[in-house]
């Protein structure tokens, strides 16, 4: 059974490592404009789409956005949560997105819907409404 082991090559060919994708280059002016836009008040779903667009355009992760917007660690943590909560809104069923748009569901409650098993979303949504 192990007789063929002597026929194995002495070295194995190297695997091609995936090349990391380069982040888009964002000028300082463009970055400042995007960050200023993120700070403007807007409805939750618009904010979610804007966070998503900024992440796609810049390659920034939620924590990078938070660190670029704030210096205080507490504010960084709050903004990081805010980015994640908003991005997850885009994954919800349209029924729940409509409730958010109509101010019948808060961003935090919507995030809880995102976290639970889809089979329990309707029951949890009803509880939030009750």
Go through the domains of the chain in sequence order and give each one's CATH number. 29-129 (1.10.10.2830)
Sign of the four-CA dihedral 52, 53, 57, 63: negative
| Tally of CA atoms within 13 A in the half-sphere of 52 that contains its CB | 13
The pLDDT tens digits of the residues spanning 49-88 come to: 999 999 999 999 999 999 999 999 999 999 999 999 999 9
Is pLDDT of 9 > 70?
Answer: no
What does the block give as tokens for 23?
Answer: 């982040």
Other CB atoms within 10 A of residue 88 CB: 16
pLDDT at 130: 81
Tell me the three state secondary structure of residue 68: helix
User: pTM higher than 0.85, yes or no?
Assistant: no
- What is the phi-psi region of residue 95: left when phi exceeds 0, alpha when psi lies from -120 to 50, beta otherwise? alpha
């Amino acid at each position: 059974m192990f007789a063929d082991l002597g026929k194995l090559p002495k070295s194995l060919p190297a695997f091609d490592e995936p090349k990391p994708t380069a982040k888009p280059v964002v000028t300082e002016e463009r970055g400042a404009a995007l960050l200023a836009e993120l700070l403007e008040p807007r409805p939750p779903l618009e904010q979610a789409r804007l966070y998503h667009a900024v992440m796609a355009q810049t390659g920034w992760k939620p924590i990078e956005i938070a660190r670029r917007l704030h210096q205080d660690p507490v504010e960084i943590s709050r903004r990081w949560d805010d980015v994640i909560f908003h991005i997850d809104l885009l994954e919800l069923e349209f029924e729940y997105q409509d409730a958010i748009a109509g101010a019948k569901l808060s961003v935090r409650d919507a995030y809880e819907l995102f976290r639970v098993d889809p089979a329990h979303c309707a029951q949890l949504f009803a509880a939030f409404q009750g």
